[in-house]
Amino acid sequence: MAENVYLAIDLGASSGRHVAGSFDGAKLTLSDVYRFDNGSVHLAPHMYWDVLGLWQHIQKGIRAAGSLHGGQLRSLGVDTWGVDFGLLASDGELLGNPHHYRDPRTVAMMERAFQIVPRAEIFAQTGLQFMELNSLYQLLAMHLAGSPVLEQAHSLLFMPDLFHWMLTGRKGNEFTISSTSQCYNPATRGWATDLLSRLGIRANLFGEVLQPGTRLGPLTSQVAADTGVQGVEVVLPGTHDTASAVMAVPTDQAPSTKPTWCYISSGTWSLMGVEVPQPVINDRCRELNFTNEGGVGGTIRLLKNICGLWLVQECRRVWALEGADHGWAELTQMAAEAEPLRSFIFPDNSLFNAPSNMPETIRRFCRDTGQPIPESKGAIIRCALESLALRYRQVLGDLEELVGGKIQTVHVVGGGTQNKQLCQMTADACQRRVVAGPVEATAVGNLMMQAVAAGDVRDITQARDVIRRSFDVEEYAPRDRAERWDEAYTRYLKHAN
């Protein structure tokens, strides 16, 4: 086949990028096209996204891709973070800038919701983990405040939906991003209308739920003229970035009610879970605070959000402010020289969410829990990484309990695959085979979903075959004595709350 080029527009909370994927019928080759910064805009007391600025960057990146790839550019699609949304009036007017998920308006909103609908009922209708930033609590905050914007709103579009509407003029709510909202019922595969009604939220704000692979149509004539790109189709990937990352897991095993593999989408956050055909909604899942989010091919991502390499990133940032700007390789070497399995933190303790001084917070946690205090920088990094690996072991056990079977392989995808030290620790802590790669998982999953929609590959199974051929992976086998990690895990569990 002639080589086709797809364009992934991957928007993160701190940066965005356009990545082109050239597909020759056998392998996918990536190239960076355009990168830009993103972030919150503060206008006291609120936090917003600069949606018009992002829209300008999206168009600039499309123009750059058109200049580079011309007539080979076949389609494009957008993925973003979850939960946030824009509201449109009946005439299509965008009603203000979308709020940032860290906006303080949602403080105490979960408790207000539970006063109206019990926590267990909310979980039964949505299967989603409880986080204050979820769309449900953002909407409840607007309702309780009597927001005139909410009263005027005719339709709600999650962030990637909003940009796809700007690109094509077509409205809809893509499945994977909708499932992050806590307004969607993954069991009925529709909006949680009873829950929304009881909380005073209009269900008619939400639109048709569209599956990944849906072809939305061509760019509008205005966008085509502004970007100089003609004949390019817009295709829905898994628009939640984690859904696209999981699409890129290079497995040859189909989704199963008893999966033998799990994934860790590793970066600032670690998202660890399994791909299953149906949601797991029961009391134990609720007690463990796991989430059922949509995946590609109509699957469900049963997963847990875990604090990830944020721990190390924040340590590095603090030390740089103090005048010691250590590179990643240098930090790895420091950690390698530190004494192993000495002290542990619980990575998901709220202390580590946004401390002003991460190294000191790690030391304080160890001191307050009666453990040896990591004094050197290497000891602090080692403590953070080993604690993450042990947290993975804990979540692995919970996953095995929820699906009722043993998981043999842990697939690590995303930027965290470059931390070989953490990958090896994960293999040792979990006593499982770890397969690391691809690094650019979100972009790869976005691009290959476009290839499926175009008919250039048959289905998701074949797309994953292409991914295995196209990108190197590295395998890690347990090499440290299991008894050492078993003893460490027993000590870790004393502080895992």
Lowest mean pLDDT among 237-251, 347-361, 417-431: 347-361
Q: Which of 79, 103, 241, 456 is catalytic?
A: 241
Whether pLDDT at 383 is above 90:
yes
pLDDT at residue number 70: 87
Tokens of 112: 């207000």
Does residue 212 have a cis peptide bond before it, meaning omega lies within 30 degrees of 0? no
Q: Where are the domains of the chain?
A: 4-235, 242-437+473-497
Spatial distance between the Cα atoms of 245 and 266, rounded to a whole number of angstroms: 10
Domains 4-235 and 242-437+473-497 share a fold: yes
pLDDT > 90 in the chain, percent:
95
Whether pLDDT at 163 is above 80:
yes
Q: CATH topology for 242-437+473-497?
A: Nucleotidyltransferase; domain 5 (3.30.420)
* Torsion region of 200: left, alpha or beta (phi above 0 gives left; psi -120 to 50 gives alpha): left
Q: Which residues of 326-355 are buried (b: 16+ CB within 10 A; e: fewer)?
A: beeeebbebbeebeebbbbbbbbeeebeee
Whether pLDDT at 36 is above 70:
yes
| Confidence grade of residue 321 (pLDDT, cut at 50, 70, 90) | very high
Tokens of 215: 């072809």
Q: Edge-to-edge, what's the strand order for the sheet holding 4-11? A: 28-37, 15-23, 4-11, 73-79, 233-235, 215-218
pTM: 0.94
- Please name the helix (run of DSSP H) or strand (run of DSSP E) that holds residue 35, with its range, or none: strand 28-37
Torsion of CA 272, 276, 279, 280, to 10 degrees: -70
Tokens of 256: 């199963």
Q: CB 288: neighbour CB atoms within 10 A?
A: 14
Could you tell me which residues are beta bridge partners of residue 274?
Answer: 302
For residue 348, indicate whether it is catalytic: no
| Confidence grade of residue 261 (pLDDT, cut at 50, 70, 90) | very high
Q: How many CA atoms lie within 13 A of 324 on its CB side?
A: 9
User: DSSP string spanning 124-167?
Assistant: HHH-----TTSHHHHHHHHHHTT-HHHHH--EEEEHHHHHHHHH
Spatial distance between the Cα atoms of 433 and 468, rounded to a whole number of angstroms: 17
Rounded (10°) angle between helices 377-403 and 420-430: 50
pLDDT in tens, 40-75: 899 989 999 999 999 999 999 999 999 999 889 999
Whether pLDDT at 108 is above 70:
yes
Strand 4-11 and strand 73-79: pairing?
parallel
| Confidence grade of residue 1 (pLDDT, cut at 50, 70, 90) | low
User: DSSP string spanning 250-265?
Assistant: -------SS-SEEEEE
Whether pLDDT at 243 is above 70:
yes
Mean pLDDT, the chain, rounded, equals: 96
Indicate if the alpha-carbon torsion angle 265, 271, 274, 279 is positive or negative.
negative
Q: What is the mean pLDDT of residues 85-111?
A: 95
**Rg of the chain taking only CA atoms, in angstroms:** 22
Torsion of CA 115, 117, 119, 124, to 10 degrees: 180
pLDDT at residue number 102: 86
Q: CATH topology for 4-235?
A: Nucleotidyltransferase; domain 5 (3.30.420)
Cβ atoms of 326 and 474 closer than 8 Å: no
